[in-house]
A and B are shown apart, each in its own frame.
Chain A
Amino acid sequence: MSIRIKMQKMFPQLLLTGVLLLLIVILSITSEYFLSWENFRNILDQSSVHILLAIGMTFVIASGGIDLSVGNLAALSGVVMAVAMKQDIGVFPAVLLGYFVALLFGLINGLIVSYIKISPFITTLASMSIARGFALILTGGVSIYGFSTTFKFWGTGSIGPINPPILLSLIFSILGIFLLAKTLWGKYSLALGGNGEALRYTGVNVGLYRISIYCFSAICAATAGLIMTARLNSAAPLAGATYELDAIAAVVLGGTSMKGGKASIIGTFIACLTLGVIRNGLTMLAVPTYYQLVITGSIILAAIIISELRSREA
């Protein structure tokens, strides 16, 4: 394929990489603490939850859907793990139970979207509320804390130069790249968003694929929940609020089309890192949190406008 077409396709990712490099240069000059492995590891660590949620979200958005439940689902699966561990059923079964509950939500999201044909926005808006409700009911509104070292390892342990959250986010990113580019599942995720009717017409069971996409997103959310809970040694029922919006922002920033049919896991990954670098840099520059929100939002908006205008030209 001609290099020009490839470059055009990769434009949002190239633009984003440029922005990321520029930010790194600027922050390296303005802050002497920025450019160090310690700080980079810190950024990766803090971005890991966002990366996990955004990888799942990339497939959902690619398929023409949206999953608003992921942030609250992460909180709920963390709470389920915590409650189960307090019942002394063991770390592994407790974590498994957390994943199971998340998977159940993914399954229900997918079933409702596929077979009752309710819009994904409304469906996951409702399940988002239900997930938060259950998290509050299970905890009575108070955080559950104090877990075994085995469990805490998933948040605060270290594996060579990195830690489990970074490792998990890298594994899911590589898995996402592989699934999207090399498998039927990835191709059909894109086809569902590009023209689901065309896919159905060829005899593919589109309902099954759509359900599996919401389940994948739920598994990403449960993994995020595991990290969040293990890292703070505490399962807070109100954790993860509005994380779904960060995930959506990263996915769109990474060049995945909100209309579906086009997606880039690498783009999502770089976008999460970019947002992580921005947050980290602003904190280092001692910019107050309230201002950080305004600046982050403005940067997201600017980047999306540029890449949208560009894609309209093409």
Chain B
Amino acid sequence: MSADLVQPFLQVKGVKKKYGSVEALRGISLSVYTGEVLAIVGDNGAGKSTIIKILSGAISPDSGEIIIAGKHYQRLQPREAIAAGISTVYQDLALVNTLDIADNIFLGREHLKHGFTLDRKRMHRESTELLRQLGIKIPIIQTEVSYLSGGQRQGVAVARVVHQGGKLLIFDEPTAAMGINETRAVLRLIKSLAENGFGVVVISHNMDQVFDISDRICVMRQGEIVGQVKTDEVDPQDVVAMITGAAVLRETSDDRGSK
């Protein structure tokens, strides 16, 4: 076990969030380690999106604490979250279809020549290198993003997040509306990110997928975490039972992400 795995990269402690009288999160605590894939599952309204939004700084929690790499936060601003290394990979929201791949990867963090004009040569070179390192295959870096497949777009979105310094990547339904081959490519990418030392959080409704890629599963139900389990210690039926509330709370003895 590497030292990385001992200290969680991200810890969420007792986070609560109310929308009016609706308790979206009733005191959530979870940890994410680098080098692992944590799947968050749960029915609609279980609070998955809320916790993701809190982690990406889109909304502020009412109470609780977020600890990223040892630093404590009451709430996160979007820029703070990104600076701290937490980035959400939005499949469609984050890419500008009409710009090329390199323009997208460097969007908002362009290299400039003489502090004035865009240094496209350098950005193209670095983009190509980055995509190669991440094992994302894309034919030509000048291709407009609108011409890419869903899987390739996901790859570009990931490359951008990694380029921004992302250490923990959050995927919200990463394979929604994708074909079989596309889905396979994205799942492979997610696994290889974890193998390369990134922490990965995946929200998914697809149990096969969750069991295929995750190391641990965190089950949410009505704003609470009703189970944190190691993927290889449970069956899909157990998890579905927890999601629907048919099974009682069940915790693995140790919620660390060791394999």
A261 on the B face (CB < 8 A): yes
Tell me if B97 and A204 are in contact (CB < 8 A): no
Tell me if B98 and A202 are in contact (CB < 8 A): no
Looking across the interface, which residue of chain A has its beta carbon closest to that of B103? A187
A193 on the B face (CB < 8 A): yes
Tell me if B82 and A195 are in contact (CB < 8 A): no
Looking across the interface, which residue of chain B has its beta carbon closest to that of A261? B98
A36 on the B face (CB < 8 A): no
B residues near A203, Cβ cutoff 8 Å: 78-79, 82, 108
Min distance, Cβ A188 to any Cβ of chain B, angstroms:
9
A-contacting residues, B96-153, CB 8 Å: 96-99, 103, 107-110, 112, 116-118, 140, 142-144
Tell me if A190 and B99 are in contact (CB < 8 A): yes
Tell me if B117 and A182 are in contact (CB < 8 A): yes
Tell me if A199 and B93 are in contact (CB < 8 A): no
Tell me if A183 and B116 are in contact (CB < 8 A): yes
B-contacting residues, A187-218, CB 8 Å: 187, 190-191, 193-195, 197-199, 201-204
CA distance A203 to B160 in the complex (A): 14
Tell me if B118 and A199 are in contact (CB < 8 A): no
CA distance A5 to B148 in the complex (A): 13
Partner among A2, A5, A195, A257 whose Cβ is within 8 Å of the Cβ of B96: A195
A residues near B110, Cβ cutoff 8 Å: 184, 187
- What is the 8 Å Cβ interface bit string for chain B, positions 179-212, against chain A (1 contact, 0 not)? 0000000000000000000000000000000000
B95 on the A face (CB < 8 A): yes
A residues near B140, Cβ cutoff 8 Å: 1-2, 5
Tell me if A183 and B108 are in contact (CB < 8 A): no
B residues near A9, Cβ cutoff 8 Å: 144
A262 on the B face (CB < 8 A): yes
Min distance, Cβ A311 to any Cβ of chain B, angstroms:
11
CA distance A197 to B108 in the complex (A): 12
Min distance, Cβ B129 to any Cβ of chain A, angstroms:
18
Tell me if B97 and A183 are in contact (CB < 8 A): no
Min distance, Cβ B160 to any Cβ of chain A, angstroms:
8
Partner among B112, B118, B143 whose Cβ is within 8 Å of the Cβ of A5: B143
The answer to whether A201 and B93 touch (CB under 8 A), given A1-B142, A187-B110, is yes
> Which of A203, A204, A257 has the largest count of B CB atoms less than 10 A from its CB?
A203
Number of residues from A at the complex interface, CB < 8 A: 24
B residues near A202, Cβ cutoff 8 Å: 107-109, 164
Min distance, Cβ B59 to any Cβ of chain A, angstroms:
15
A residues near B116, Cβ cutoff 8 Å: 183
Tell me if B107 and A198 are in contact (CB < 8 A): yes
A residues near B67, Cβ cutoff 8 Å: none
CA distance A187 to B78 in the complex (A): 23
Partner among A2, A201, A262 whose Cβ is within 8 Å of the Cβ of B94: A201
Min distance, Cβ A151 to any Cβ of chain B, angstroms:
34
Looking across the interface, which residue of chain A has its beta carbon closest to that of B147? A5
Tell me if B143 and A199 are in contact (CB < 8 A): no
Tell me if B107 and A183 are in contact (CB < 8 A): no
A residues near B96, Cβ cutoff 8 Å: 190-191, 194-195, 198-199, 261
Looking across the interface, which residue of chain A has its beta carbon closest to that of B117? A182
B residues near A260, Cβ cutoff 8 Å: 98
Tell me if B107 and A199 are in contact (CB < 8 A): yes
Tell me if A194 and B99 are in contact (CB < 8 A): yes
B residues near A198, Cβ cutoff 8 Å: 93-96, 107
A residues near B112, Cβ cutoff 8 Å: 184
Tell me if B103 and A199 are in contact (CB < 8 A): no
A residues near B94, Cβ cutoff 8 Å: 195, 198, 201
A-contacting residues, B75-95, CB 8 Å: 78-79, 82, 90, 93-95
Min distance, Cβ A40 to any Cβ of chain B, angstroms:
33
CA distance A35 to B137 in the complex (A): 53
A-contacting residues, B142-170, CB 8 Å: 142-144, 164
> Which of B95, B112, B116, B118 has the largest count of A CB atoms less than 10 A from its CB?
B118
- What is the 8 Å Cβ interface bit string for chain B, positions 220-252, against chain A (1 contact, 0 not)? 000000000000000000000000000000000
Looking across the interface, which residue of chain A has its beta carbon closest to that of B143? A5
Tell me if A199 and B108 are in contact (CB < 8 A): yes
Min distance, Cβ B128 to any Cβ of chain A, angstroms:
13
Interface residues of B (CB under 8 A from A): 78-79, 82, 90, 93-99, 103, 107-110, 112, 116-118, 140, 142-144, 164
Could you name 7 residue pairs across A and B whose Cβ atoms are closer than 8 Å? A187-B99, A195-B95, A198-B94, A198-B96, A199-B108, A202-B164, A203-B79
15 new A-B contacts, CB < 8 A, other than A9-B144, A194-B96, are A182-B117, A182-B118, A183-B117, A190-B99, A193-B98, A195-B94, A195-B95, A195-B97, A198-B96, A199-B107, A202-B108, A203-B82, A203-B108, A204-B108, A261-B98
